[in-house]
């Protein structure tokens, strides 16, 4: 397929990085600290690129990206605790629940304008937080839900790497296809998009479902790694971190978001000694990026290396 050939380089790079990450496990003699750090980095990459599909491509600024992961993780956790069914089936149901949860933001998005969509997505995050804290007998309140370890850390580490690679390549192919063009046109101008024949409802919902599908995969993988899911997944910190990583990495390129998610999640870990100032440093970084390089790290690099500068006013000479 032509698209695959065009994206060959991207796929190759994703493959090399994934391979490199996979080797880290035996190379570090299965150091659980390192494996844990990199697993979480892979999951952050998944969350942030999925956010980028909505915010960067479709113009849906989602402040509750981890709602999808949380719904999927809680579903799997409840199934693990209360039903002794086949595990693949449980994971499948969790995945389905997480994916469908995107309709909660997808359907309102058909009716409200972009800036109100951000508010709606934030409200839904708060609602889920409240639900988990209110129905304690079901969701375990503050403690969340825990299960004994079922998969080894190594298995989950390799799973996370594979999921990250699949997510990156899939989303890259999606945004370079007809679907990606539809999403970008919706971001740019919904009325014009409709005027040239794009069914904006269908494509908005599609973007939500795709984004939530991969986010749910990450959420389930993260749940099995921790053996635990708690209300903090619906907390503000997590989903806002996704937004910050995406903005700093660079919206609308997939790879910029991946870079932001990967680098910042590891940086976050090294900021542990100054934990109290973490949010402060993060916020300052965000302000600096927004002011100095509004296209994010990736966007700024792309501008630097572009052969023909785009900022050139074209006027007149029509006739």
What is the contact surface with other proteins in residues (CB under 8 A)? 178, 181-182, 184-185, 187-189, 191-200, 252, 308, 310-316, 318-319
CB-nearer residue toward other proteins: 189 or 269: 189
Q: Where are the beta strands (DSSP E) in 168-290?
A: 228-229
Separation CA 267–CA 275 (nearest Å): 12
CB-nearer residue toward other proteins: 29 or 191: 191
Dig out the tokens for 213 from the structure.
Answer: 């599908």
Shortest gap between Cβ of 7 and other proteins (angstroms)?
A: 17
Shortest gap between Cβ of 152 and other proteins (angstroms)?
A: 45
Separation CA 8–CA 31 (nearest Å): 33
Residue 306: CB atoms within 10 A of its CB come to 9
Separation CA 208–CA 308 (nearest Å): 35
Shortest gap between Cβ of 194 and other proteins (angstroms)?
A: 4
CB-nearer residue toward other proteins: 197 or 273: 197
Shortest gap between Cβ of 191 and other proteins (angstroms)?
A: 6
Shortest gap between Cβ of 130 and other proteins (angstroms)?
A: 37
CB-nearer residue toward other proteins: 191 or 276: 191
Which residues are registered as beta bridge partners of 145? 229
Shortest gap between Cβ of 319 and other proteins (angstroms)?
A: 4
DSSP track, 157-200: HHHHHHHHHHHHHHHHHHHHSHHHHHHHHHHH-HHHHHHTT--H
Separation CA 109–CA 118 (nearest Å): 9
CB-nearer residue toward other proteins: 148 or 197: 197
Identify the sign of the CA torsion 207, 213, 217, 223.
Answer: positive
CB-nearer residue toward other proteins: 272 or 312: 312
């Amino acid at each position: 397929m032509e698209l695959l050939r065009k994206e060959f380089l991207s796929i190759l790079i994703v493959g090399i990085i994934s391979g490199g990450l996979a080797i880290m496990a035996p190379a570090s003699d299965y150091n659980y600290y390192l494996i844990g750090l990199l697993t979480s980095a892979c999951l952050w990459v998944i969350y942030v690129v999925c956010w980028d599909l909505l915010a960067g491509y479709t113009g849906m600024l989602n402040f509750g990206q981890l709602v999808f992961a949380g719904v999927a993780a809680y579903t799997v956790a409840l199934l693990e605790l209360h039903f002794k069914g086949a595990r693949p089936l449980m994971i499948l149901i969790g995945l389905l629940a997480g994916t469908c949860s995107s309709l909660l933001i997808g359907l309102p998005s058909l009716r409200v304008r972009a800036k109100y969509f951000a508010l709606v997505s934030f409200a839904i995050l708060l609602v889920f937080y409240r639900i988990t804290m209110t129905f304690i007998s079901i969701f375990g309140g503050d403690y969340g839900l825990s299960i004994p370890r079922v998969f080894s850390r190594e298995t989950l580490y390799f799973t996370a790497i594979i999921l990250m690679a699949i997510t990156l390549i899939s989303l890259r192919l999606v945004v370079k296809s007809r679907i990606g063009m539809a999403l970008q046109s919706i971001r740019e101008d919904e009325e014009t998009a409709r005027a040239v024949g794009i069914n904006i409802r269908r494509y908005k919902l599609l973007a939500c479902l795709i984004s939530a599908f991969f986010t749910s995969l990450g959420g389930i993988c993260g749940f099995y790694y921790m053996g635990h899911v708690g209300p903090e997944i619906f907390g503000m910190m997590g989903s806002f971190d996704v937004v910050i990583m995406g903005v700093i990495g660079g919206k609308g390129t997939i790879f910029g978001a991946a870079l932001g998610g990967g680098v910042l999640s590891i940086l976050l870990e090294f900021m542990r000694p100054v934990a109290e100032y973490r949010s402060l440093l993060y916020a300052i970084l965000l302000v600096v990026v927004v002011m100095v390089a509004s296209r994010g790290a990736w966007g700024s690099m792309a501008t630097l290396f572009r052969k023909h500068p785009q900022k050139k006013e074209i006027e007149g000479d029509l006739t």
